[in-house]
Amino acid sequence: MDAIILQFLNGVDKGAAYALIALGLTLIFGTLGVVNFAHGALFMLGAFCAVTTNTLLTLSQKVKDPSITFFEAYIDQPYLVTWYGDLGATIIDWSVPISLLLAIPVMFLLGTVLERGLIRHFYNRPHADQILVTFGLAIVLGEIARTFYGANPLPQPTPDFFTGQVNIGAIFGSDLAYPAWRLLYFLVGVVIMFGVFALLQFTRFGMVVRAGMQDRQMVQLLGINIQARFTLVFGMAAAIAGVAGALYTPTLPPNYEMGMEFLVISFVVVVVGGMGSLGGAVLAGFMLGILEAIVALPVISDLIPGINQVIIYAVAVVVLLTRPRGLMGRKGVMED
Amino acid sequence: MSAILTVSGVNKSFGGLKALNDVNLQVEEGTIHAIIGPNGAGKSTFLNALIGRLIPDSGTASFQGQSLIGQAPQAINQMGVSRVFQTPEIFGELTLLENVMIPALAHADGAFKANWWTSLRDRKAVREVAERELHDVGLKEKMNVVADNLSRGDKRRLELAMCLSQDPKLLLLDEPTAGMSRADTNEIIEVLKTIHAKGMTKVIIEHDMHVVFSLASRISCMAQGHVIDEGNPEEIRNSPKVREAYLGDEADEH
Amino acid sequence: MRKRDYFLLFIFAAVMLSMPIWGPFIDAGYPDIMQRFAVFGLIAVGFNLLFGLTGYLSFGHAAFLGIGSYTAVWCFKLFTMDVIPAIIASTIMGGLVALILGFVALRRSGIYFSILTLAFAQMMYSLAYSVLTPLTNGETGLQLALGDARVLDRALGTNPESGLPSTSFLGFGVSNQGMTGYWICAIVAIIGFYIALRITRSSFGIMLRGIKSNQTRMSYTGLAARPYLITVFVISGMYAGLAGGLLASVDPLAGAERMYWTASGEIVLMTILGGVGTMFGPILGAGIIKWLEAKLSTFNESVVEQAMAFLPDSIEHSFAVVASKFVGEGWHLSLGVIFMLIVIFLPGGVMEGLQRLVGLFGFGKTKKQGADTSTPAE
């Protein structure tokens, strides 16, 4: 039983990442009508923002190792530690949360630049061209990341404060510890999702965006400057992907190929949830994340080896065959 | 004469709106049957229900004894029902000849035939049909032009040629002259009269009374999703119900 | 087919068969790269039948390529080292898998189709990479082994006494770096081109173009789009499977990386780089990509610096640093950049570029515009 709950929680954690990427994909698709094959790359770049922050914070100088007295030994000591002592060490330890200060503005900016400079010119081109150009962009962004950071996964530290386990089991009256960081990731994910829904529900900006998702031409006919809002939406989606990527680094060491892996699964999430439905994206993201984790249980994976690697695709096939519009897809949204 | 198309009790609602309300209609073989009626009367919806674009909530429609309800569009077409759309549905990137050869091939080969070895050029019989139909609608000289480059009126004619190349038993025309000049309209009327000599049954939706009264031998008038009156042109011209439907419509608009 | 089409076929055959003569002039005279030109030209031609004619953009073609390779290597291992059964089997397998995938993916069109094929390719990749290790030998890749069964070879007594055998074609050695491998690939590519040409010009081909142009009209014209799409998808999958079989024939090993999404992307890129929907474009694109790959991926920083030696030292160095990111290991960066530039500025690919050039210099002025539009651009 505990094993099942544990896997369930693992799934919730990964599902949050899927849901956040799928949310951004859906936002972009719903408003701009563009399927962004580079969205996984944005997630990956977010993760590398965390790597960059860590690298910057741990810039080091050679200092004499005080613990070795009988000859002169040098160790790398981060400037932050030299300058601020323990406080510096704590800052370094918190590099991943701190990296959000870099990831959010950088990814937002990157998103707006991409929308203005590239995506905008593809609104009136065939869908195939949009797919191709964002696909090319995904390759370029991935390769740029590789030039700077190499091909190997780069593990990132979990802040000490969150390295411990939280006893989730107390809720169920048993004893079940779960990594605190992963819980935090889930919670942050939920907060972001609520934030997005609230933004769309209660602000004028959100109202226009929602109207745009319903009927783009109508909104344009009303003379509302939808262009500027499109840019914001793209920036927002990029920032969400960035946050999701940055905070995921302690769980999964980032490498340049992770973007496409997450993208493909997020696509499946969007298809299963229903193209153009934000709620569907979130729901399907969690569902598929949990499902993937549950089938990884030894009981099941011994029976059907490798099931956890293909279950998501199998579900996508079944959903498409039985409910072509996905779980929560609306009629008329990307029917073909 | 016998009925080629029998529709009875067809209903269709969209949300709360009753688009088709107990539609009954009989189309006699070999006639031109016009459906008139004010905007929003449900005429196009009615045609959509006939060709498999939408499935009615209830009711039956049978074409030569075969039910049309719930059939796939291609199956209905293969029975011999062709439709000219209000906005021409043509193959914009292909030449006129290719545009007409596709339906002609569909008529000759059926819904699917993986004939991937015989060259299109060697399908001489099909090509002759296509050229003849293009000639009939007056587009023969343009047969190597890409269809997107045609004028609106020519696109209409092209679509008509595409439907005719299938030698359909029942041709459905949805406002074939909408938005056309008087001269073009008269030309279309002439083309329709010429092909009518072949004895093909036609159902035509039209706003232009000039077209209706020069072509139709039987007229049904629809209003609010219902057939309110039916008769020959003379009867319809004098029908108080029809007059009311149109006047009521105008009263609403003004 | 008209005379012009036979002329096209003749040109293609002449180019392929004379490659050993002109190849050395572009530093591509050795069998390995010439085989690549032929094999990837073949797969691009097959991909173009799908994407060029119907507009359905598949991101899963590398999966068929990989399956073809695995099938061929298994054929070598189990039955015989002769390449004929292997390439026949890989073609059939490519078609079979395409049939299964097509049945599902072709229920949807447009974006959905692209997403489904991409997801399928990724699934096949992870299956090959880890789950199906007994069949694919996972990360290492499937290779020949001394103890392989080779039932037919042993029965016929053609199994070598010692050492690993090499693939053969009716007794001629293929995989031992001779020209036989190239000739086989070239002949198969010419046959493949001929078949593609026939399909494009057939009544089947016009239906596919009709589907691309207006699916609504197709169905109200009495045509069922789906069987047409499935058929062409299967044909296209067979081309890819065949190409995979050929790759394994000239170099008998198969690895999962052949099915990775970048490999699918490369096939798409070849086709659009050359020119979607044209007969020669995809082959030209395949040639350019494979040539660039062979050249760029072997470069390193020192080669780049040598090439830029004419520049002043300071500039030379910074140029070299930037340029070196695009070569060697970073060759995929060049690939991505080319991809984007082509999609943004030249959606019709090199063939469109050539046409524009011809138009620019007025060579084409004598020919009346649009006078011969009954066939797509060559």
Three-class DSSP category at B72? coil
Beta carbons within 10 angstroms of residue C224's beta carbon:
19
Structure tokens at B200: 């093909």
CATH code, domain with B91: 3.40.50.300
Residues B37, B61, single domain; the answer is: yes
Q: Which of B89, B70, B83 is nearest to B44 (CA)?
A: B83
Residue C18 placed within a domain: yes
Task: Kindly report, residue by residue over B24-50, the tens digit of the pLDDT.
Answer: 999 988 889 999 988 888 888 898 888
CB pair distance less than 8 Å for B144 and C204: no
On whether both B145 and B251 belong to a single domain, the answer is no
Regarding predicted confidence, which is higher, A210 or C314?
A210
The pLDDT of residue B254 is above 70:
no
User: pLDDT tens for residues A119-177?
Assistant: 988 888 888 889 899 999 999 999 999 888 888 888 888 887 777 777 766 666 666 77
Task: Tell me: pLDDT of C372 over 50.
Answer: no
List chain B residues with CB under 8 Å of C203: 101, 105, 109, 113, 115, 118, 120, 123, 126
Give the pLDDT of residue C144. 86
pLDDT, tens only, C329-348: 778 888 889 889 999 999 88
pLDDT of residue A241: 95
Q: β-strand A74-78 against A165-167: which pairing, if any?
A: unpaired
pLDDT digits (tens, 9 = 90+) for C123-165: 899 889 888 888 888 888 888 888 788 888 888 877 777 778 8
In Å, the largest CA–CA distance within chain C is: 70
Q: Which one has a higher pLDDT value, C48 or A95?
A: C48
Question: CB-based burial of residue A59 (10 Å sphere; 0-12 exposed, 13-18 middle, 19+ buried)?
Answer: exposed
Q: Is residue B194 part of a domain?
A: no
Which pLDDT does position A172 carry in this prediction? 64
CA distance A119 to chain C (A): 10
- Closest partner residue to B91 (CB to CB) among C202, C214, C224 is C214
Which of C49, C191, C203 to probe the B interface (max B CBs under 10 A)? C203
pTM of the model: 0.89
Helix (H) or strand (E) holding B13: strand B3-14
- Please answer yes or no on whether A143 and C57 come within 8 Å at the CB atom: no
Mutation to test the B interface, candidates C198, C216, C220, C367, most B Cβ within 10 Å: C220
How many whole angstroms separate alpha carbon B117 and alpha carbon C203? 8
For residue C361, what are its two tokens?
């210099």
Q: Where are the domains of chain A?
A: 2-54+96-322
- Residue C118 at interface with chain A, using a CB cutoff of 8 Å: yes
Q: Do C116 and A128 touch (CB under 8 A)?
A: no
Sign of CA dihedral A89, A91, A94, A95: negative
Residues of C in contact with A132 (CB under 8 A): 57, 268, 272, 339, 343
Mean pLDDT value of segment B190-217: 83
- Residues B178, B118 share a domain: no
Q: Do residue B58 and residue B114 come from a single domain?
A: no
Could B115 and C1 be called an inter-chain contact, meaning their C-beta atoms sit closer than 8 Å?
no
Share of chain B above pLDDT 90, in %: 30
Q: Which residues make Cβ contacts (< 8 Å) with residue A227, sequence separation at least 6?
A: A120
Please name the chains neighbouring B, where neighbouring means 3+ C-beta pairs under 8 angstroms: C
For residue C231, the chain B residue with the least C-alpha distance is B114
Confidence of residue C196 (pLDDT cuts 50, 70, 90): very high
How many residue pairs from chains A and C have C-beta atoms closer than 8 A? 119
B98 and C209: CB-CB below 8 Å? yes
Give the residue with greater pLDDT, A216 vs A334.
A216
The packing angle between helices A2-32 and A258-273, to 10°, is: 80
DSSP, collapsed to helix, strand or coil, labels residue B231 as: strand
Q: Tens digits of per-residue pLDDT, B113-163?
A: 888 888 888 889 999 999 999 998 889 999 999 999 998 888 988 999 999
Inside any domain, residue B106: yes
Residue A334 has pLDDT above 70, yes or no: no
**Partners of A179 in beta bridges:** A165
**Alpha-carbon Rg for chain C in angstroms:** 22
Q: How far apart are CA A239 and CA A246, in angstroms?
A: 10
Q: Which residues of chain B does C348 touch, with a Cβ-Cβ cutoff of 8 Å? A: none
Residue C100 lies in a domain: yes
Measured between alpha carbons, how far is C132 from B148 in angstroms, rounded to an integer?
51
Contact residues for B120 (Cβ-Cβ < 8 A; gap 6+) = B101, C201, C202, C203, C205, C206
- B70 and B175 part of one domain: yes
Across the interface, whether the CB atoms of C340 and A143 are under 8 A apart is answered no
Q: What is the arithmetic mean of pLDDT over A178-201?
A: 89
- DSSP, collapsed to helix, strand or coil, labels residue A208 as helix
Number of domains in chain B: 2
Q: Which two tokens stand for residue A178?
A: 């779960």
Beta-carbon contacts of C212 under 8 Å, excluding residues fewer than 6 positions away, are B93, C53, C54, C55
> Structure tokens of A183?
């819980």
Residue C35 covered by a domain: yes
Spell out the residues 6+ positions from residue C163 whose beta carbon is closer than 8 angstroms to its own: C146
Across the interface, whether the CB atoms of C372 and B162 are under 8 A apart is answered no
Are C214 and B78 an interchain contact pair (Cβ–Cβ within 8 Å)?
no
Q: Nearest-CA residue of chain A relative to C54? A: A128
Has residue C155 been placed in a domain?
Answer: yes
Interchain contact B118–C (C-beta under 8 A): yes
Determine contact, residues C327/C62, Cβ cutoff 8 Å.
Answer: no
**What is A2-54+96-322's CATH number?**
1.10.3470
The answer to whether residues A31 and A224 touch, using CB atoms and an 8 Å cutoff, is no
Please report the pLDDT score of residue A178 as a whole number.
77
Query: Residue C344 corresponds to which tokens in the numbers above?
Result: 């943004």
Binding-face residues of C in 238-277 toward A, CB within 8 A: 261-262, 265, 268-269, 272
Touch test B–A: 3 Cβ pairs or more under 8 Å: no
Q: Looking at residue B191, what is its pLDDT?
A: 82
* Alpha-carbon span C136 to A101, nearest angstrom: 45
Residue A321 CB burial class (10 angstroms; 0-12, 13-18, ≥19): exposed
Nearest by Cα to A192 from A40, A326, A56, A16: A16
Residues B36 and B19 both lie in one domain: yes
The total of structural domains in chain C comes to 1
Q: What is the mean pLDDT of chain C?
A: 86
Could you tell me if B92 and B120 lie in one domain? Answer: yes
- Per CB-CB distance under 8 Å, the chain C contacts of B115 are 202-204
Are B91 and C216 in contact (CB < 8 Å)?
A: no
Other CB atoms within 10 Å distance of the CB of residue C260:
22
The two tokens of residue A93 are 């330890």
CB C41 within 8 A of CB C287: yes
Q: Going by C-beta distance under 8 Å and a sequence separation of 6 or more, which residues neighbour residue C125?
A: C63, C66, C256, C259, C260, C261
Residue C329 belongs to a domain? no
Claim to verify: residue B207 and residue B243 sit in the same structural domain: yes
Q: Judge contact between A246 and A99, C-beta under 8 A.
A: yes
DSSP B115-128: --SSBGGG-HHHHH
pLDDT in tens, C268-290: 999 999 999 899 999 999 999 99
What percentage of chain A exceeds 70 in pLDDT? 93
Q: Give the pair of three-digit tokens for residue C50.
A: 């799908």
Chain C contact set for B126 (CB, 8 A): 203
Q: How far apart are CA B158 and CA B164, in angstroms?
A: 10
Give domain status of residue B96, yes or no: yes
Residue C242 lies in a domain: yes
Q: Which two tokens stand for residue B167?
A: 């030698």
Which pLDDT belongs to residue C48?
96
What value does the mean pLDDT take over residues B189-214?
83
- Residues A259, A265, A271, A272, Cα dihedral to 10°: -150
Q: Do C202 and B116 touch (CB under 8 A)?
A: yes
Instruction: Check residue C376 and give its pLDDT.
Output: 42
3-state per-residue secondary structure call for chain C: CCHHHHHHHHHHHHHHHCHHHHHHHHCCCCHHHHHHHHHHHHHHHHHHHHHHHHCCCCCCHHHHHHHHHHHHHHHHHHCCCEHHHHHHHHHHHHHHHHHHHHHHHCCCCHHHHHHHHHHHHHHHHHHHHHHCHHHHCCCCCEECCCCCCCHHHHHHCCCCCCCCCCCEECCEECCCCCCHHHHHHHHHHHHHHHHHHHHHHEHHHHHHHHHHHCHHHHHCCCCCHHHHHHHHHHHHHHHHHHHHHHHHHHCCEECHHHHCHHHHHHHHHHHHHHCCCCCCHHHHHHHHHHHHHHHHCCCCHHHHHHHCCCCCHHHHHHHHHHHHCCCHHHHHHHHHHHHHHHHHHCCCHHHHHHHHHHHHCCHHHHCCCCCCCCCCCC
Q: Above 60 in pLDDT, residue A293?
A: yes
Instruction: Give the minimum alpha-carbon distance from A75 to chain C in angstroms, rounded to a whole number.
Output: 30
Q: Hey, of C221, C229, C234, which one would you mutate to test binding to chain B, going by the most B CBs within 10 A of its CB?
A: C221
Residue C369 touches chain B, beta carbons under 8 Å: no
Residue B190 within any structural domain of the chain: no
Q: Is the complex ipTM more than 0.85?
A: yes
HEC-encoded secondary structure of C25-70: HHCCCCHHHHHHHHHHHHHHHHHHHHHHHHCCCCCCHHHHHHHHHH
State residue A297's pLDDT score. 83
What is the average per-residue pLDDT within C365-374? Answer: 42
- Reported as a pLDDT band with limits 50, 70 and 90, residue C367 is very low
Residue C354 lies in a domain: no
Phi, psi dihedral angles at B30 (to 5 degrees): 80, 5
B177 lies in the same domain as B111: no
The separation between the first and the last C-alpha atoms of chain A, rounded to the nearest angstrom, is: 43
Distance from C-alpha of C359 to C-alpha of C356, rounded to nearest angstrom: 5
DSSP A282-324: HHHHHHHHHHHHHTTSHHHHHHSTTHHHHHHHHHHHHHHHH-T
pLDDT at C366: 46
Residue B56 pLDDT greater than 80, yes or no: yes
User: Where is mean pLDDT largest: A22-26, C1-5, C120-124, C311-315?
Assistant: A22-26
Q: Which domain holds residue B207?
A: 1-80+170-184+199-254
Residue B252 has what pLDDT?
47
CB B63 within 8 A of CB B77: no
Burial C69-101 (b: 16+ CB within 10 A, else e): bbbbbbbbbebbbbbebbbebbbbbbbbbbeeb
Contacts of C192 (CB under 8 A, 6+ apart): C42, C45, C46, C239, C242
How many C-beta neighbours within 10 Å does residue B249 have? 17
Residue numbers in A near C212 (CB within 8 A):
none
Band of pLDDT at residue C199, cut at 50, 70 and 90: very high
Q: Do C57 and A144 touch (CB under 8 A)?
A: no
Task: Please check whether residue C306 touches B, CB under 8 A.
Answer: no
Q: Chain B within 8 Å of C374 (Cβ-Cβ)?
A: yes
pLDDT at A303: 76
Host domain of residue C236: 3-260
Asked if residue C24 belongs to a domain, the reply is yes
Contact present, C283 and C293 (Cβ < 8 Å): no
**CA–CA separation, C345 vs C356, rounded Å?**
12
pLDDT class of C374 with cuts at 50, 70, 90 = very low
Task: Tell whether B47 and B113 lie within a shared domain.
Answer: no
**What pLDDT shows up at residue C207?**
94
**Domain identity same for B158 and B205:** no
More confident residue, C49 or C26: C49
Instruction: Determine the pLDDT at residue A331.
Output: 59
